[in-house]
Structure 1
Amino acid sequence: MSRLLQPVAQRLLSTQTLASKRAFHSNIRPSLPQRNLLKPVLWGSILAVAAALSLNETVHLDASVSEKGDVTVDPATSIAFPNVLKVQSKSPLPDFTLVGLGVRTVSFLGIKVYSVAFYADLQNPNLKIPKSATPDEKIEHIVRNTTCALRIVPTRSTSYSHLRDGFMRALQARMVLSRQRGQLTQEEEAEAQSPLRKLKSMFPNTALPKHTPLELILLAPEPEHPRTLIVRDLGALHNDWVAREFVMAYFEGDGISPPLKKSVTANLEQFGY
């Protein structure tokens, strides 16, 4: 039983015990059928209280931005994301603006794996996007031209290796698609192999508790330098294709998280000049 339910259960059990004692001392001891009926009533009460509490539960990940108006809550998971993400780093990073968020689900049962938010440095002067561009064009322009980030928050306890396997499958599928479209040369594919192996090796074989954020940051392009993808607190890799396509995989078609794609698309509808 969760810690949330323990006080409720203890109070209900105390009430049951007191009622039974009073009945015993009054020579009106409950019959066996009556006692059996009491158990489902008790657990039904506990579950009803838990359901009522869960409807109002919001998980705030940043105490400094937990005030009303400073966060946006994923309605599917009640996980809150800061509207402005500030990342501490040795090299100065811009403040990231929340562009959209959504839940990642798996299987036909729609099991919720994590909530994910897409952030970008929308103040970058290189973002010269006409308002008439399509949402997909705007997303690609942002990913190609400025610093952006993905913040992933598991809805249940998982492991770094489980997330890593999902990332690698997405990149492998992205590579096949890019090759089919003629957007990936043999030289680029060969150069991507070492960074792909590095990405796979940087995730530890340890647990990632639920509601613990994992941030992946794509740095803005620099002249004569490959793009950098940072897995916060775990490491970084340097390769144009891997770094860029890791983020773009979230927006191909309906995306890895269709609610994320829908949210980002809607919020970029009026973005541009």
Structure 2
Amino acid sequence: MAASTRSAMRILSPRIHTIRQTTPSPLTQQARRLSSRYSNPTKRGFAAAPAQAPSFLGSTTSATESSDGANESLRTPHAEWEAKRQYHLGRMRFAGMGLLLSIAGLALVISNIDLDSLEQAEKKRKSGQQMDASDEANAQFQGKEVRVIGAGDGARIVAKAGGEEIELVETGTSSVPHFPKTIFLPTSPESKSNIAALPNDPLNTGNIENQEEYTLVGLGIRTVMWIQVYVVGLYIRTKDISTLQSKLIHHVNPIASTLVPGEKDDLRNKLLDPKESREIWSQLLEVPGIKTAWRVSPTRNTDFSHLRDGFVTGIQKRTQEAKQLAGSTGPSEYDAEDFGQSIQSFKHIFAGGKAPKGSILIMARDRDGALDVLFEPKPEENRRKEMEKLGSVADERISRLIWLGYLGGDKVSSEAARKGVVEGCVGFAGRPVGSAETMVS
């Protein structure tokens, strides 16, 4: 028995030795440490630090640190994914904005295409005629043939037909190439007793119904972004030119009868300055005063509502500007209820109706500031339709604000029109008082 036991031990001893030398797993080692620590009381002692935090805080902190480490390992791929997501979202937004702008631009271009001009150009191409629409437009004015008389600085552009001659001024656009140098408008009640010339009098050519003569001061093109909307020109009653000259000259030099070159530059700068121009034109528009009128001719087919919106916007801008200048001194003249009613009356004048390219809209301001709105459809062939009165507004604040919207203050409705009017005013102020009326007559 003992011999058999010893032989078995000899056989198993190498295997037992190999098992003893095998490195235990980490779990086995940890289990051994814990078992040895708590099974042997001598190994339980530890150096406790004073004022140590409670065990549950320490465990929480260590758990938090371990979880932060785990989250940190997961945070890097998540951050990369979020960055890619934001990048692609930004590209999608940029592409969407480009698509919207492209659609808006296409709609704007389509809405501003002049189909009449395209149709005429197509007819010319098919018939083999020259496709220069501007040349044809320049050759006609209200059914009359346009001619250039003279050369150089003394050249005159006139439209002649049936013994009638109208002197013209170039506008700078082929859509509405010319404006007349003088026009005739219906007389207002206070002027009927002071008519200087009878109908069709040779000295008052074109006066058909005892109308009053107005002279062009200056003109320009109103544009919205890069699109031409209409040509607008300021006219003054011819007999009021001397009053305008006197006020402009005395604003620069109170004792002068005309302005020298340096003084003309001073006047030009004042009329272009936002603050100075507002003050000068506010004085010139005082009532009773001079009679003026705006002549508006659309360069593309439009309607009254679009024109009205532009005029009302100008009124609102100058109203806000006036309130800001008044400060906190109390209610301004534009806060009154009757002013709001006057604006509504002005809007009703433009209630519906078309304004085709080349038609004529007149806004005339009399001595008392009352506004008359007249409209003449586009002349066809050699026939000229009668000018229709659309309505009137007696409140002088309405006409004053429309005039200031073109001439005084900052950001006027048409900078080109203001510059044209300024050059005309400087030209008047550079002549002796009263001489301009003689030249027109």
Which TM class, normalised by the smaller chain length? Answer: 0.7 to 0.9
Which residue is 2:400 aligned to? Answer: 244
The alpha carbon displacement at 1:270 in A equals 3.9
**Secondary structure of the corresponding residue to residue 162 of structure 1:** helix
**Which gives a bigger RCO, structure 1 or 2 (Cα 8 Å, sep 6+)?**
1
The alpha carbon displacement at 1:106 in A equals 0.5
Q: Does 1:75 align with 2:147?
A: no
Q: Is the 1:61–1:81 Cα contact (8 Å) retained in structure 2?
A: no
Output the CA distance in 1 between the equivalents of 2:122 and 2:187: 40
**Secondary structure of the corresponding residue to residue 271 of structure 1:** helix
1:10/1:207 CA distance change after superposition, 3 Å: same
Output the CA distance in 2 between the equivalents of 1:217 and 1:154: 17
Q: Is the 1:101–1:116 Cα contact (8 Å) retained in structure 2?
A: yes
The alpha carbon displacement at 1:150 in A equals 0.3
Residue by residue over 1:154-176, the C-alpha shift from the partner in whole angstroms, topping out at 9 and shown as x without a partner, is: 00100001110111111011100
1:230/1:69 CA distance change after superposition, 3 Å: closer
Which residue is 2:302 aligned to? Answer: 158
| Aligned pairs for 1:16-55 within 5 A | 49-50=130-131, 52-55=132-135
Unpaired segments ≥5 residues, structure 2 = 1-117, 146-157, 193-210, 253-266, 272-276, 375-388, 434-441
1:146/1:62 CA distance change after superposition, 3 Å: farther
- 2:371 pairs, out of 207, 229, 244, with 229
1:142/1:63 CA distance change after superposition, 3 Å: farther
**Secondary structure of the corresponding residue to residue 146 of structure 1:** coil
TM-score between both structures, scaled by the size of structure 2: 0.47
1:62/1:174 CA distance change after superposition, 3 Å: farther
- 1:60 pairs, out of 105, 123, 141, with 141
Larger radius of gyration: 2
Output the CA distance in 1 between the equivalents of 2:125 and 2:173: 26
The alpha carbon displacement at 1:188 in A equals 4.2
Which residue is 1:121 aligned to? Answer: 237
Q: Is the 2:188–2:366 Cα contact (8 Å) retained in structure 1?
A: no
1:152/1:130 CA distance change after superposition, 3 Å: closer
Q: Does 1:95 align with 2:213?
A: yes
Q: Which amino acid aligns with 2:303?
A: S
1:239/1:2 CA distance change after superposition, 3 Å: same
Q: Is the 1:61–1:80 Cα contact (8 Å) retained in structure 2?
A: no
Output the CA distance in 2 between the equivalents of 1:141 and 1:69: 32
Which residue is 2:119 aligned to? Answer: 2
The alpha carbon displacement at 1:187 in A equals 4.2
The alpha carbon displacement at 1:76 in A equals 2.8
Output the CA distance in 2 between the equivalents of 1:10 and 1:130: 54
Q: Is the 2:230–2:297 Cα contact (8 Å) retained in structure 1?
A: yes
1:188/1:254 CA distance change after superposition, 3 Å: closer
Count matched residues. 229
**Secondary structure of the corresponding residue to residue 421 of structure 2:** helix
Which residue is 2:311 aligned to? Answer: 167
Output the CA distance in 1 between the equivalents of 2:133 and 2:358: 18
**Secondary structure of the corresponding residue to residue 181 of structure 1:** helix
1:239/1:53 CA distance change after superposition, 3 Å: closer
Q: Is the 2:294–2:364 Cα contact (8 Å) retained in structure 1?
A: yes
Q: Which amino acid aligns with 1:97?
A: T
Q: Does 1:111 align with 2:111?
A: no
Output the CA distance in 2 between the equivalents of 1:90 and 1:69: 24
TM-score between both structures, scaled by the size of structure 1: 0.73
Moved more, 254-263 or 145-154: 254-263
**Secondary structure of the corresponding residue to residue 3 of structure 1:** helix
**Secondary structure of the corresponding residue to residue 223 of structure 2:** strand
Q: Is the 2:223–2:414 Cα contact (8 Å) retained in structure 1?
A: yes
| Aligned pairs for 1:119-268 within 5 A | 119-124=235-240, 126-127=243-244, 128-131=246-249, 133=252, 134-135=267-268, 136=271, 139-144=281-286, 145-182=289-326, 185-190=331-336, 191-221=338-368, 227-232=369-374, 233-252=389-408, 253=410, 255-268=412-425
Which residue is 2:29 aligned to? Answer: none
Moved more, 68-77 or 141-150: 68-77
The alpha carbon displacement at 1:103 in A equals 0.4
Q: Is the 2:186–2:212 Cα contact (8 Å) retained in structure 1?
A: no
**Secondary structure of the corresponding residue to residue 169 of structure 1:** helix
Output the CA distance in 2 between the equivalents of 1:169 and 1:246: 9
Residue by residue over 1:200-252, the C-alpha shift from the partner in whole angstroms, topping out at 9 and shown as x without a partner, is: 1111222211100000001112xxxxx20111111000112112111111113
Moved more, 201-210 or 118-127: 118-127
Q: Is the 1:120–1:142 Cα contact (8 Å) retained in structure 2?
A: no
**Identity between Structure 1 and Structure 2 (%):** 23
Which residue is 1:33 aligned to? Answer: none
1:63/1:90 CA distance change after superposition, 3 Å: farther
**Secondary structure of the corresponding residue to residue 119 of structure 2:** coil
